[in-house]
Amino acid sequence: MTEFYLQDKNAKIYIAGHRGMVGSAIYRKLQKEGFSNLIVRTSSELDLRDQLAVQNFFNEEKPEYVFLAAAKVGGIVANNTYRGDFIYENLMIQSNIIESARKVEVKKLMFLGSSCIYPKLAPQPLKEDYLLTGELEPTNEPYAIAKIAGIKMCEAYRDQYGCNYISVMPTNLYGLNDNYHPENSHVLPALIRRFHEASESGSNSVTIWGTGKPKREFLFADDLADACFFLMQNYNEKNLINVGCGEDISIEELAYKVKKVVGYEGSIDFDVTKPDGTPRKLMDVSKLTKLGWKSQISLEKGLSVAFEDYINSVK
């Protein structure tokens, strides 16, 4: 297999999902690095679930590199409520892009997955080879299965066609252009919105789902974008690779950090009748660290930037 590295500043690069948190961070990173030939389409311009539309787009544009950051994403409630939507839409989006990329002989494609691909009770920290060694967390199983299918599709295309497709598994993300929907967002943006609204309304307390005991790892989206750029230049292996900061924090500790950043002065209550999800999710990032990449943005700094972004989005 020929190894291709993203170095030509004039290379034609397609960023699928450029309006999302991850895609927009990758777009900013590429612009910062001097890449100007960036191809993007909004969902109204190109429905990635439509096979023919995606094929026609690739035939017309013929990108050389692809960052596959488009996906239907959400928190526990959304994942558990719209189970059919999550598996169908993600399977269609990624399958259409991967197959169309093969047909126009894209030099290199990066598929972005999620840490939820690992078994619910896998040993911690999560190593790449723990994939498919146990049962998944039930609440987001459809989404996780779709992402696992994407990993395996990239591997299969590499085996059969010699495609240089790599799979990157980020930990829990937050940052600019995050989703702050009251029901469909992930835990960190949901906390930012909840504490801010409680502060604005003068509420005496904020209720958080679960016990607060589960531990999670959080990576700022721009850190992920930096890692993606690094891997597009330096990684060409079949096996997936984790991206994270290598440290985790309990939901309770996180809640108090968000409370402080927002400036909320009330109390925090935990609704223990609600599900906790996976007890712990910490990525083993030793593989990435050995390659020479490490996260740079601290949780405290990232939270401040994320809160400012939320305030701007509200305005």
Q: Which residues are catalytic?
A: 143
Q: Known binder of ligand: residue 17?
A: yes
Q: Known binder of ligand: residue 186?
A: yes
Q: Known binder of ligand: residue 42?
A: no
Q: How far apart, in whole angstroms, are the C-alpha atoms of residue 22 and residue 49?
A: 19
Q: Known binder of ligand: residue 75?
A: no
Which of 157, 154, 158, 135 is closest to 145 using CA atoms? 135
Q: Known binder of ligand: residue 293?
A: no
Q: Known binder of ligand: residue 20?
A: yes
Q: Known binder of ligand: residue 147?
A: yes
Structure tokens that stand for 160 in this block: 């059969």
Q: How far apart, in whole angstroms, are the C-alpha atoms of residue 194 and residue 187?
A: 10
- Give the count of beta carbons closer than 10 Å to the beta carbon of residue 182: 10
168, amino acid identity: V
Q: Known binder of ligand: residue 171?
A: yes
173, amino acid identity: L
Q: Return the residue matching tokens 């911690």.
A: 124
Q: Known binder of ligand: residue 21?
A: yes
Using alpha carbons, list the distances in angstroms from residue 265 to 16, 173, 194. Answer: 41, 26, 13
Using alpha carbons, list the distances in angstroms from residue 153 to 7, 56, 87, 193, 216. Answer: 26, 21, 15, 37, 28
Q: Known binder of ligand: residue 276?
A: yes
Q: Known binder of ligand: residue 209?
A: yes
Q: Known binder of ligand: residue 102?
A: no
β-pairing verdict for 215-216 and 165-170: unpaired
Q: How far apart, in whole angstroms, are the C-alpha atoms of residue 250 and residue 252?
A: 5
139, amino acid identity: T
159, amino acid identity: D
Using alpha carbons, list the distances in angstroms from residue 70 to 92, 95, 124, 147. Answer: 11, 12, 28, 12
Residues 6+ apart with CB under 8 A from 298: none
Binding-site members for substrate are 194, 209, 216, 276
Binding-site members are 17-23, 112-115, 147, 170-173, 186, 194, 209, 216, 276
Binding-site members for NADP(+) are 17-23, 112-115, 147, 170-173, 186
